[in-house]
Structure 1
Amino acid sequence: MAAPETELDPRYGEPGAGPTSWADARRTLADAELSWLTTLRPDGRPHTTPLITVLDDDAVVFTTGPEEQKGRNLAVDARCSLTTGTNMWAEGLDVVVEGTAERVTGEEHLRTLAAAYLAKYGDPWRFEVDDGAFTSGGHVAHVFRVAPTTAYAFAKAPHSHTRFRFAG
């Protein structure tokens, strides 16, 4: 993926604070143990839930059962956002990714992503690949990736607000 256009919004930062690099925002996404996914219910109300993620190039990857609320929401409207960071005011980096969730079904790609989950989260998150999905303990999980269209980084030491716009 090409480097995004990066824009610092000085209205929301401390004087002299610079923009966050996409490399730093990407590292925050890759290292996050937990992220928050927001999807839209069919009536337009938001639904937010915590989940674990891995990175696939610059895209954030997550799983959901097709019968779960987020799975049902994505079947109607694939637009979503993922958020991660800290709950601290004066330290850390918060990152928000906005985009469209696309289901991953290719067997080889799924095996690569299953290995990424295992490497990041260990044996409790060992997935098998079967029929275009992850399986574990008799459960089926669809795999989605969200390539960012826009992302935001909120740095806190010093405070700054950076927007990343992605081509395509």
Structure 2
Amino acid sequence: MTEQEPPGVLDARYSAPDATAADWAQARERLSQAELYWLTTVRPDGRPHVTPLIGVWLDGALHVCTGAHEQKARNIAADPRCAVTTGTNTLNSGYDVVVEGVARRVVDDAELARIAAAYHDKYGEDWSFTARDGQLHHAGGGAAVAFRIAPETAYGFGKSTPSHTRWTFT
């Protein structure tokens, strides 16, 4: 699958005079290499629910998994709109990326097997899954549902030279 390469648009209101828009390839690399992400979903009553989790970038989207009865899975079932954030917990250095999109459940076992392989490659033996019956099954027991979150809009926030880049996907 060919990934979109939308142009970055710099928002001068939130950027230093010498800042430049980042390339999507740079943000995608940060999303791919991040160890931890923060997923924001919408509770049925409209309140946000934010939780840290691991994930993998594959085929132009972030993939995450969770227990089917966990709050984030229930939230996505009711309202699939979400945001994923990763970056650094610093003020004057690093780069943060926010992806807004819609979480779609992955049930195809072949696609789930690719996601499982990506988890294993990135996180090692502790995150070994087998794909079957539309779920990821952990070697230690238990099953997880997987979601694909393709970006609709993404933002990058540079800190050493303050910058605010926006990417819009079609």
Say whether the fold is shared (TM-score over 0.5): yes
SS in 1 for 2:154: strand
The answer as to whether partners of 2:5 and 2:25 remain within 8 angstroms in 1 is: no
- The answer to whether structure 1 residue 148 and structure 2 residue 156 are counterparts is no
In the TM superposition, what is the alpha-carbon distance from 1:66 to its structure 2 partner?
Answer: 1.0
Give the letter for the 2:144 counterpart.
Answer: A
Q: CA offset at residue 5 of structure 1?
A: 3.8
Deviation (angstroms), 1:8: 0.5
Whether the 8 Å CA contact 2:107–2:134 is kept in 1: the answer is yes
Q: TM-score, normalized by length of structure 1?
A: 0.97
* Match in the other structure for 1:25: 27
Q: 1:12-161 to 2 correspondence within 5 Å?
A: 12-136=14-138, 137-161=140-164
One-letter amino acid of the structure 1 residue matched with residue 21 of structure 2: P
Q: Percent identity?
A: 53
- Contact in 2 for aligned 1:97/1:150 (Cα 8 Å): yes
Question: Residue deviations 1:8-27, cap 9 Å, x none?
Answer: 00110111100111011001
Alignment partner, residue 6 of structure 2: 4
Structure 2 residue identity aligned to 1:66 = A
Structure 1 residue 6: Cα displacement: 2.1
Deviation at 1:81, TM superposition (A): 0.3
Can you list the C-alpha shifts for 1:61-93, whole angstroms capped at 9, x where unaligned? 100111000011011000000000001111111
Other structure's SS at 2:16 match? coil
In the alignment, the residues of structure 1 paired with residue 151 and residue 54 of structure 2 have an alpha-carbon distance, to the nearest angstrom, of 17
TM-score, structure 2 normalization? 0.96
Is the CA contact 1:5–1:166 (under 8 Å) kept in the aligned structure 2?
no
Aligned length: 167
Structure 1: stretches of 5+ with no match in the other structure: none
